[in-house]
Amino acid sequence: MKNNSITLKSGSFIRKNWGKIALTAFIFGSSLNTNAQVIHKEERFLSDYRWKLGLSMNSVNVNFDKSDPLKTSDFSTMAIPSKVTLGYEFVNNLSVEAAFSFNKLKPGSFTNGVPLYSHKDIYTFSGSLLYSLGGLFNIPVVDPYVKAGIGYLSFGERNYTTGDFGGGINFWIADFGFMQDYRYPAEAWYKRLGINIEAMAKKNITNSKALGSHVQFSAGVFYAF
């Protein structure tokens, strides 16, 4: 008798609120359908854009061997975009990339525990291999990656060779907000824009006493073509 009463009450509740239930089900179903349409890395564009050109702000910590790499007082940041990258994906998920960056150190900065008494310019050029974890694991929206290579470092009046390693993450503008509904059929240029965040360690490998080892953080935009 008790079970029948519960059943009758449930039926009465459904009859009185069927409109609200139907609307809730429709919204939930639409949400699932939208999530199911998330575009993955290889499906993002109709064309195969393998080149990437990037422009970023960069900040360096040249004292990371002797202190906390994230200590803000040890960072030098350029006020203008001063890092340029050009990458080419020659096989799925694996790219080769060239990067150039410029920064300035002020007197009073430390490099590997040694104080600087004059301005120092830092120029870096590196060639790296970049592997896309977003492509490997078919991650939607974001594309994390790892990166390693060999670089050239001009530190003041001296030149060194560096071993570079680190990683970053790409965010495609086409995957956010209103852009999600307008990927197809046209491929407007602005849909190939993205945001990049990266952290790289550049270790001086010329000799054990050489200065200039640093960690570099950068953030900027890129364009696929």
Q: Please give the pLDDT value at position 95.
A: 97
Per-residue pLDDT tens over the stretch 3-36? 444 444 444 544 555 555 554 544 444 443 444 3
With contact defined as beta carbons under 8 Å apart, do 169 and 196 qualify? yes
- What is the spatial distance between Cα 220 and Cα 213, in angstroms, rounded to a whole number? 23
Q: Please give the pLDDT value at position 107.
A: 78
Rounded to 5°, angle at Cα 223 from 217 and 225: 140
Taking residues 213-217, what's their average pLDDT?
90
Q: Please give the pLDDT value at position 66.
A: 62
Per-residue pLDDT tens over the stretch 33-78? 444 344 555 556 667 789 999 999 999 988 766 655 556 567 888 8
Separation in Å, CA 21 to CA 6, 45, 76 = 19, 38, 57
Per the structure block, which two tokens stand in for 9?
Answer: 């009450």
The per-residue pLDDT of the chain, averaged, comes to 78
CA 114 to chain centre: 32
Q: What is the pTM of this model?
A: 0.76
With contact defined as beta carbons under 8 Å apart, do 173 and 193 qualify? yes
With contact defined as beta carbons under 8 Å apart, do 140 and 171 qualify? no
Please list, in sequence order, all residues whose beta carbon lies within 8 angstroms of the beta carbon of residue 163, skipping any fewer than 6 positions away: 150, 151, 202, 203, 205
pLDDT of 91 > 90? The answer is yes
Reported in sequence order, the residue ranges of the chain that DSSP labels E, i.e. its strands, are 51-61, 75-77, 83-91, 94-105, 110-111, 114-115, 120-132, 142-155, 158-172, 193-204, 214-224
